[in-house]
Chains A and B, each alone.
Chain A
Amino acid sequence: MSNPNTSSSGESHGSVSSYLIGFVLAVILTVLSFGVVMSHSLAPTGTLAVLSVLALVQVLVHLHYFLHMGGGSEARWNNIAFVFTVAFVSILIVGTVFVMANTSMNMMSR
């Protein structure tokens, strides 16, 4: 997510071409996501794994091209808040799924 261009003048808030690049990448990734599910070409676990990778890449594309997240010193506090939130939400989601899967197994509810 580091963007060496953030300090250069006029680049930081994006240009028409950077928005278009981001848009084209996002469209490609979205179409791939739909395609992989609609074509049933992979096993369910494989499909889920591919979907997760495509979603992650698309989120990064959006953060870079649309939200202009970068590694400049100006953005330091934004990035710190962002990293904290990602860590927090990851613990929240992974922890919840892990604990609840164990619970339902031990209670033989599935």
Chain B
Amino acid sequence: MAQNTTVPTAGHDEHHHESTVVFGFWVYLMTDCIIFGSLFATFAVLRNQFNGGPTPHELFEFGGLGLETALLLLSSITYGFGMIAAHKTQINSVIMWLGVTFLLGLGFVGLEVREFAHLIADGAGPDRSAFLSAFFTLVSTHGLHVTCGLIWIVTLMVQLMGTTEIPERMMNKLTCLSLFWHFLDIVWICVFTYVYLASMI
């Protein structure tokens, strides 16, 4: 197992296997993956159980979905630029990129909450049919993860403010959040493909 005790300056040669902390976080992500796998399996079973209620064709629209996808995809690359800046110890640049990532993520959550509010107002809430129960559970679990990621981003921005160097411990935090954020983007690929697009064929 990776047991390197890299000093911050040598951190340039390594990526997310510097420490057991990052490996531990990776294992957590794998368990998270199993949670999402279970929710996807549930959705796959219940996706046609409309109980006379609205179908995906009546509920989903391409515009909002495309915008949400674009925001999350953009936030992935802006976080990546933040990590590159972190490896170069350009702290102001890291804070700036984290801020951009935060705004994009906030936009995503905002659009999702707006979509949910519309659905519920139209009588298509999670209590309407098995399909909608499974839909809300899966998509809001992802949304909740993104929200936690937003809180985490703000926390790290505050911790970075006023510092002049990035110690290994801070680098580990940034790396863990990087894994988390990119992982959520991967889950979103599966959501927009199998939950939205596959239901709109």
Q: Please list the residues of chain A having a beta carbon within 8 angstroms of any beta carbon in chain B.
A: 6, 9-10, 12-16, 19-20, 22-23, 26-27, 30, 33-34, 37-38, 44, 47-48, 51-52, 54-55, 58-59, 62-63, 66-68, 72, 74-78, 81-82, 84-85, 88-89, 92-93, 96-97, 100, 110
B-side contacts of A16, CB under 8 Å: 81, 84
Least CB distance, A40 to chain B, in whole angstroms:
8
List B residues at the A interface (Cβ < 8 Å).
Answer: 1-2, 4, 12-17, 23, 26-27, 30, 33-34, 37-38, 40-42, 44-45, 48, 62, 66, 69, 73, 76-77, 80-81, 83-84, 87, 179, 182-183, 185-186, 189-190, 192-194, 197-198, 200-201
Contacts across chains A and B counted by CB atoms under 8 Å? 129
Is the contact region of chain B dominated by helix, strand, or loop, or is it mixed?
Answer: helix
CA distance A20 to B78 in the complex (A): 10
Complex interface: chain A residues within 8 A of B192 (CB): 30, 33
Residues of chain B within 8 A of A97, CB atoms compared = 41, 44-45
